[in-house]
Amino acid sequence: MIDYMIRIVLSPPRKWEFIKKNPFLLLAVIPFDQFFQVARIVRLLYLFLRIV
């Protein structure tokens, strides 16, 4: 989290461009709370049903 914030601060004046060019860095910073756990379970269930 601290690394990401430092990169945003040190990025060129267009902070939004940095975020758009590095979406996976932003996703890595977001904590995996209950919503993301549910989304992961739903995705696994969807993949399982697709295989069967």
Please give the Cα distance from 21 to 6 (Å, whole number). Answer: 16
Q: What is the 3-state secondary structure (H, E, C) of 12-30?
A: CCCHHHHHHHCHHHHHHHC
Classify 38 as helix, strand or coil: helix
Q: Can you give the pLDDT at residue 32?
A: 65
Q: Can you give the pLDDT at residue 39?
A: 78
Q: HSE-up of 13 (CA within 13 Å, CB side)?
A: 0
Q: Can you give the pLDDT at residue 3?
A: 80
pLDDT in tens, 1-52: 688 788 888 887 888 888 888 788 777 777 667 777 777 788 888 888 887 6
Q: Does pTM top 0.75 for this prediction? A: no
User: Which tokens in the block code for residue 40?
Assistant: 């992961």
Please give the Cα distance from 22 to 24 (Å, whole number). Answer: 6
Q: Can you give the pLDDT at residue 34?
A: 72
Q: Can you give the pLDDT at residue 52?
A: 64
